Every structure is written in C-alpha cells, then in structure tokens.
Chain A
C-alpha cells in the first residue's frame, strides 16, 4: 500500500515562504477548516482546491460592528451616560512614580502562589507550590514560622486579624487554620485545625472581622462561610457556573457582603446572611483571577486573563472603567488599591506590575523585576508599601 504522506508536508508548502500578510488572514480561517478536515478525514488536496474567501466576510462584519459601536456611543452621549475617566478630566494628572524594591524575600523552594499581610503592617504569610507556608517579618526579612502542608499547590493563605494564626489550603480541597506558636520546639502542624471542606481545590480564603470565621472560594464553583472552632458550615454561596478563583470582603459599615470572581467570567456580590447573590457583573472576556474592593466600598476592581482590569460601581450596578493597553498581552493575576484608591496595582502573568491611575484610566508606571509570573499582590494595611509574590520563588516589597 502506498504510504500516505503526513499532512504537515502539504500545509507547510502552502504557508511557509509566501507568508505575506494577506495569506495570514486566510490562514486564520483555514486553520479552522483544516482541523475539521483532519477530524473528518478529508484528503488535503481536495481541501486546498476549495474556494475560501473569508476576508470579504470579515471586512463586512468589521465595518458593521464599527457602525453599531458609533451608534451606541451617540445614544449614550445623548443621555449623559459617562465613564469614570470623563468625570475625572479636571483632576490633576499624576507625576512620575519611582517605586523601588525595598525587600526581597527568598526562601521558598518553588512558585509563590499567595500572600497576605498581618495587621501589624510588617509581617506576611506566603504559600507556595511545594506545600510550604512561611510567616515572615518582611521588615527584617526574618522567617518566623514555617509549615509544610500535606499537599502541593497551596493556592490560598490568609493572616488572622489577631495575628495569632494563619489559614491556608489548595489542592487538598480544604482550608486549615494553624495557630502560630512561639515555642521553637512545637510542631505547628500538630495544632492544625481543619475547617473548610470543598469538593475541589481551594482558590482563596479570608478571615472575616475576627479569628472565628473564614470565608472560602473553591474550584467546585461555590463559596462558603465557616465557623473556625467547630468547622461548621455557616452559609454556602451557589451561583457561579464554574470555578471560583477569588474573593474579597466589603469594608462597608454593615459588613455583610463580599464579592467573588470566577472562570465563568462573572463577578458576583453576595449577602453573607442569606447566601443570596445580590449583584452580578459579566463584562470580562475570560477568567477573573482577582477581585478587590475600592477603599470606600462603593466599587470593586477585577483582574482577568483577558489582560484587562476593570472597575465596577456597586450603586450604578455597572462597569465604569477599563484598565487595558494593546501592548499588555497577558492576564492580570492579582490587583489591589493604594490607600486613597487613586492607584491600582496589577500583577500580571508577563512578570510585570502595571500601576494604573484609577480615575483617569491611564497607566502610570510599569515595574519589572520578577523573573516569572506575578501570582499575588497586596498593599500593606497602612498603605506604606505593597508586596508581590511570583512563580520565580520570591516575594518583593516595593514602595
């Protein structure tokens, strides 16, 4: 039997040398066709002979969508509908920012996945892929405690408000609380309390106003509120259609809501008492990796794999700003505000941190330094600095 030539030969001939721009556009459509053909076992020669003119339809659709866009803008303008940057036109622009790395924390043997600040403004807890959770005095860079979890990919960790315990979890589907003992001989793992139980990985956790309650989010699509002492489930939150990746508690006066973001591209606001989803926002084009409230609690920011960060106003029930740039290709993994809410720091998967002017929507600064993805970023409780953790095994504190 005559051996059939592997298809790659034919296709390379078509595509390689004459890779001028026009044909690129055709390829983008052709590659869909070729996948179909391979699956359906069509001989390639036949396929190449078929007429493919996607460029015409693409151009037509493009101009149609542009026209619709303009019409929408016009209608919006008539009703005085505005975006945040328009309202902020009269605000003074920000000057140049110089932010240097003031501390580098080395000690993790693998990717740093999560970190959180202690209320004392200088200590932090961090967790990594190899199962290690470390408590540092970031100011002196001393390590104060270390715990080895029985699982890898510890994606979530949080410091208790009292500073006396830390919570963490990941691929073990649990959230465990470790009281921080100062006895050098004591094995922290011995006093561990298993609090939360999900049916998929733990993506984020946070203590509420006290050491006694923990809020968790999970790859099983739910969030849950737990009583630490008993491990009892106090409330569960259902509504996401896919993995929930992040959460943040509202700083509001009545302290009863929180926001979560997930792989279903939605950000949901929940009532902690009833378990109901009271607001939902769906404008991102891909997974939402991080959500964080604006300091007043009137809005929250999100960071997504679609390479944008966005601001959602809770009273207006709408997105009011997008922070993006065509040259930013990779997703934002983690976001946080400066104390006044004027700056939004975003850690990205392209190893950089972009600093945004929240009001004007422009980028103020780009910070290099990490040698792999930035996976976690938090501003310190008194706003004097921010800390970023990365897949390059380090954490950096910058001002």
Chain B
C-alpha cells in the first residue's frame, strides 16, 4: 500500500516556507479557472437581450470555455515541461484577461464564443495545469493538504464572483463588467509571479556509496533525455500502458459524467418540490460554503499517516459517498431535508475534488504528472460535455427529476466501487512486480559479487602449484556455491 513512484524528484521538496505562498498563488489561479465559466452565466440574460441570442446560444459560452479549458491540457503540459510553471501561468493570465477585455466590445455572439470561449478557455487551461504542477514540485509530505487548499479556490472564487458579477452588471452593464472581469483575471499574472521555479540540485544527496553516485547521475541523465523526447509529443499515448493510469481515468470519467448534472438541476428540482425561488438558490450557496471548508479539511485528513498510504481508497470512498447522496436525494421532499442533502453533497463533492489531482500525482509521480494531467483533462472533456445534457434529456423524457438523480448517483457510485476494486487489484500486481524486481536485482548483485570473489580466489590459487591442477574444480565449486546462495535467497524473499 505504498505510494507510487512519487519520490523521483531527485531532491527533498520544501514542504513549507515559500511553498505556502505558491499554494496561495495556485489557489487564485485555480479559483479563476474553475469559477469564471460558471460565474459568466450571470451575464447571459443581458447578452441575450443585447445581441439577440437565444438562451442556449448564450449558454454555449460557458460550455465552450470549459471545453477549451480541458482540451488545452496537453498543450499546457508540453509548455509547463519546457518552460516551467511561472511563465505559463503569466501567459495564461494575460491571454484570458486580454481576451475578456476584447470580448467586451463584441457585436456578435460568435465573436464572444471565439474570444471568451476559445482563447479565454485556453488561457485558463495553461493556468490550471501549471498551478497543479508547481504544487507537486514544492510539496511531498504535505501535498494532499496543499492540493486541498489550492483546489478550495474554486468554491471561494465562485462565491466571490457571483455577487460581484451581479453588482458589476447592475453598475456597468455586461460590456463594462466583462472589461473589469478581464482586469481581475490579470491578477493570475501576479499569482504566476509568485510561483518561483524550483532549481533542483545538480548532484545527488551525500551519504551514498561512490558507485551509486556514478550510476545515479547516468540514470537521471537518461531519464531526462527520455522525458524530453516524450514531452515533444502532445499526446503521450504510452500512458495507456500504465494500469494505474487507466483505472484512474475510467473512474474519473464516470465521476465527471454524473457530477455536474445534480448541480445544474438542483434548484429546478427544489422549485419543483414546492420550495420558493430564493430558498432554492440558497441551496447552491450552502453547498458552495460547505465545499469551501471541506476541501482543505480533506487535504489535512489525507495528509495524515493513516490515510496517506491508502489515499486511492479514500478517493473511492469519497466517490461512493457522493453517489449515495444523489441516490437518496429523490426521497427528500421537504426543504429542511434538501438543505441536509446540500450539506452532504457539498461535503462529498469537496472531498472528491480535493483528492482528484492528488491521486493522479500519487499514481504518476511528479515527473510524469504534467503530461498525465493534460491527457486526463482532454479525455474528461467528453463526459463533462455529455453529462448535463444527458441529465436534462432524462428530465425531459420522464418529466421527473428523480431519474436524473438515480442516473447520476448510480454512475458515480459504480465509478467509486470500480476504483476501489481495481485499486486493490493494482496494488496486488504492483507488489508482485516489486518482488520480482527485487529477486532479479539480488540475483544480479550476487553474480557480480561472486564473480569478483571468484576472480580474487583465482589470483590466490595461481600462486600455489598444487592448486594449479584443481583450477577448474574450485571455480566449479565456487560457481556452484554462488548459484546455491541466490537460490537460498530466493527461498527467503517470497515472505
């Protein structure tokens, strides 16, 4: 149950100090990335009226932005690998902020699709990927906590941006609001400036024998060469050979498919149950507040020594918890019970999102994480774009919200259970592979040592003439002895 290849950084990360400033920067960056597309929905009515668009045409702005944010992942990975996090976040912030400002003078909805949706979304993609990567460079022991704190940016900024956007809309109209919002997003450049690049030491740590010192730099040099070659590709499909990665990807896709449907339809469902409009909107606010607190809390819990080695199981538990909440929702009819549901929804949602990237870091290790997260986000585009419309379709066909919750809840719970079972299998296979590796290395070591010993003994034997006749025999005897010894070792290692 040990963590994956997480410690291939080659140095011991800071786990504190300037790292917390970096977490603050990542918090801002991730906050804008996730909440901007949702907060833009406040402007839709004004944009519809002004540009003569329909409701679904306006809603496409958010969808395009979110899709571009996830689809830009692989490009972002390549850039982060090449240039480091800081320049990428600064460029991302500039792209998104400037595109919003340009969009504010737009005269058609297509213009807005292009500037806010595609370019703005791409800028946010750069932000997201780079922020997650820099956390993995600065933290190892406290990494779940750092991840939880950074991911908490999403609900915090959503709670801040929603009323701010309403105020801006009332004061300046939608065009002025977009301009000012673009300016606010430029603050991501400040966040990026805080992300000081980590310069790893050129030599390994002291205390290791001379041979190992020589071998390790060679190994690292070859590793660096390989990773440079890999990052030259945009989509590194060799990740699909990694069992842990594929398991994570399938589980995540199932989660994302079911995750956003309930959020989109919660207030509509509440109104359907007879709750009044303001109270129904309040449900989402409650969920957001709970989410805000739970994400760092989950990070703290996941950093503890009991949970950290079993973090993948904790993640699958969070997913099953979330799915169960949705399955129970149709049974809750009164407003008080719906508030309770919103609280538990917030808790489980926060838990999953606090761990979602931490688990990927845990599986992939810091070196491979940027490319992995790029691949994951571009594949997650599909369930994310299909989920809410599929949920909406269910509502339209059956004219009842409960089937939506059943569908989302069952998909998420199935995903959680799948992750749980497959992780048990994965860890079991990993242990077997480790044992095999250990056996092989021990065998190699023994043959090297005994060959050395045999050489020394030969040199000694040469000086005694009687032993000259027996030259072949001692060698054979030694060889036998050498062969017997590893076999004895073999007998010991299976335990």
A interacts with B:
no
Chain A interface (Cβ < 8 Å from any Cβ of B): none
